[in-house]
Amino acid sequence: MKLIKIQKITGTLELVSGLHIGSGNTEMHIGGTDNPVIKHPLTQQPYIPGSSIKGKMRSLLEWDIGVVGQTDGKPLGFKHIARLDEAQQQAAKQLLSLFGGAPEGTNQNTDLLTEIGPTRLAFWDCSLEPEWVQEMNDRNLLLTENKSENMIDRIRGVAEHPRNTERVPAGARFDFNLTIRIHDTDTDLLQLVWRGLKLLELTGLGGSGSRGYGKLRFKQLQLEEEDVLVKLQKIRLGTA
């Protein structure tokens, strides 16, 4: 197995609805929100961690190829390949080639590890597009918003348990970066990448998706110098 090249996928990711990816900070501040978004420690600007995109995209593709039941809800790993039928095995191997999978236990299938090889995809943190930040500064607008929510008592008709959630507002734009290693033994792994990105558009990112958070779309997408946004637009669920 020989590394031939490393290709770069870049683009612009735009929020269609407010996005919340939590910072893990559970400390309460007077006048602050009780559920802040993750921010860069130096600039204090919100960003999208590459790990959030990778985890969501991988999970969606595992559902898409139908292996979640065979993995008992755990992330797809090398040990699960033998449980799958022939068609699923091929797709599962491609997924492991893209996202990686830590070998489990001491009885490792070395032939399988050699066949799949190293992780191909690298997901980078998505920073806010500088032009969008400047637009907000020119209009004296904040880079995040606080959304108030509560639970309604069905009998008394009153609001209970109010909470404030910080979100990056709809319309925010992020710089998207992804790299993929291409080896001489690889089949067309990019088709699975386009499918994963399309699933991400259709399902969203971050928390509270069932309440309308995290809807996104790719405004631009290039593979090196080639415009590949049309590849996402051609993807249809229910087809291989």
- φ/ψ of 89, rounded to 5, equals -60, -45
Q: State residue 30's pLDDT score.
A: 45
| Beta carbons within 10 angstroms of residue 55's beta carbon | 15
pLDDT at 117: 82
Within 8 A by CB and 6+ apart from 77, the residues are 71, 96, 101, 102, 103, 104
Amino acid at residue number 182: I
Place of tokens 């991988």: 58
Q: Classify residue 177 as left (phi > 0), alpha (psi -120 to 50) or beta.
A: beta
CA distances to 96, 162, 163, 227 from 151, in Å: 41, 7, 9, 45
| Cα distance between residue 240 and residue 236, in whole Å | 9
Question: Encoding tokens for residue 224?
Answer: 């090196």
**Which residues of the chain are under the pLDDT cut of 50?**
28-31
Q: pTM (2 decimals)?
A: 0.85
> What letter would DSSP give residue 46?
B
